[in-house]
Amino acid sequence: MRSVLLTFLLGCLYQSSVLALQPSTQVRVSDLNSPWAVAWIDSEVVLITERPGRLLRIDLQTGTRQEVTGLPPIAAIGQGGLLDVAVDPQFSTNRWIYFSLTAGQGGQIGTELWRARLVNAELQELTRLFAMTPKSSGGRHFGSRIVFERDDLLWLTLGDRGDQDRAQRLDDHAGSVIRLHTDGRIPEDNPYRTVTGARPELFSIGHRNIQGAFRHPDTGALWTHEHGPQGGDELNLTQAGKNYGWPVITYGRNYGLGTPIGEGTEKPGMEQPKTIWVPSIAPSGMTYYTGNRLAQWTGQVFLGALRGQHLVRLQLDDSQRVIASERLFENKLGRIRDVRTGPDGGLYVLTDGPRGQLIEIVPEPSLVD
C-alpha cells in the first residue's frame, strides 16, 4: 500500500509542472451520437461505434460517412449498447473486425464479443465468439475493451454488472478479464482452464468495471484500469491467474455514506494497483502512445476522464512504476470516452455525448479548435 500511495502523491505533485510541449486540438469528426470507441482500418479510414447501436465507417480525408450494416441485435440499456471495436492485425488480408456489445432477452443482458468480415460498409460471416454467463438485469458495469495479445489471441474486459460479489466467483464471468483465440477457441494455457468449476475463459478476476486497456508494446503485458466507487479508480498491471481484489479490498468508499468497503486496502493473495485516483476521475479509454507526432510523449500512457473531463498523461519507469501524472485539457473537451494512437502517429480522443467528436491532439498552437 505504501508504494501505491507514494506513486499517487508523486503524481499529484507532478501535475503542477510546466510542459515543454504545449498541445492543442483539431476536430477530425463531429456530430457523433454517444460514441464509445474508435479503430483504424487503414491510415485514412476509421470505424466508430455509437453506443445506441450504430457502427460508422468514416474517411478522415474526405469526410465521407457510411453506416455499416449487418450488426446483430443490441440491448442499449443504461451503460450498455454497442461498445468497443477492434481491427484484426491481419485485416488487410482477412477483413476481420471484432466488436463488443450488450445483448439478451427478458431483461437479462450481458456483454458479448462478435467477429465479422467488413466488406465495404457491410458485415459478413457474423459470428458470436463469447457471451458473458450468467446474464443479469440492470444497466451497469459491462466493461468492455478488446486488446490483442498477438495475432491469434485477444483479451476482453468485463464489469461486475453492479453485483460486486460476482467478481470473486470463478464460475462467473462478471468482474474479470477473459482470454480467447480470435476464432473463439479457449487457449490451452488459460490459468483457470483446469480448475474445477471455473470458467475456462478467465484470465484474471476481482475487477469492478474495466473500460480502458492496452498491451505494452515492449513487454507484451496487459495494462487495465477500472472504476472505483467514490474514489479508488485503479491502474493495474493485469497478469494471468491474479486476483485484483474487488470487492474484498479497495481504495474506494460506499457511495453517499463514505464508509469502508470489504476488508481494507490490502490482503495476501490480492494484487495492489500501480496507481489510484482519489477522488474518482471515472477513467475511460487508454493507450500507450507509440506515435511520433508528439515525440516528447512517445512511450507514455494516456487515458480519458469522464467525470473530471480531462486527458491524463502517465509516465512509467523501467520497473513499471508510475513516476509522473499530469492532467491536460481540463473542462475543455468534455467527457473523453476513448483514447487511441493512430496509424499516422497521432494521438486521438473521442468525446462522449449526443454531439461527440473525434479530436486529434496536436503540438501546433495555430490549430487550436
Q: Does the annotation count 141 as an active-site position?
A: yes
* Active-site position among 141, 207, 225, 227: 141
C-alpha–C-alpha distance, residues 101 and 93, integer Å: 25
Cell of 326: 499530469
- Residue given cell 470489504 in the structure block: 262
- Asked if residues 221 and 163 have their Cβ atoms less than 8 Å apart, the reply is no
- Mind spelling out the 3-state secondary structure of the chain? CHHHHHHHHHHHHHCCCCCCCCCEEEEEEEEECCEEEEEECCCCEEEEEECCCEEEEEECCCCCEEECECCCCCCCCCCCCEEEEEECCCHHHHCEEEEEEEEEECCEEEEEEEEEEEECCEEEEEEEEEECCCCECCCCCCCCCEEEEECCEEEEECCCCCCHHHHHCCCCCCCEEEEEECCCCCCCCCCCCCCCCCCCCEEEECCCCEEEEEECCCCCCEEEEECCCCCCEEEEEECCCCECCCCCCCCCECCCCCCECCCCCCCCCCCCCCEEECCCCCEEEEEECCCCCCHHHCCCEEEEECCCCEEEEEEECCCCCEEEEEEECCCCCCCEEEEEECCCCCEEEEECCCCEEEEEEECCHHHCC
Measure the CA dihedral 82/86/92/96, to 10°.
-60
The one-letter amino acid code at 74 reads: I
Q: What's the Cα-to-Cα distance from 201 to each of 172, 210, 237, 329, rounded to whole Å?
A: 10, 17, 19, 39
User: Could you list the active site residues?
Assistant: 141
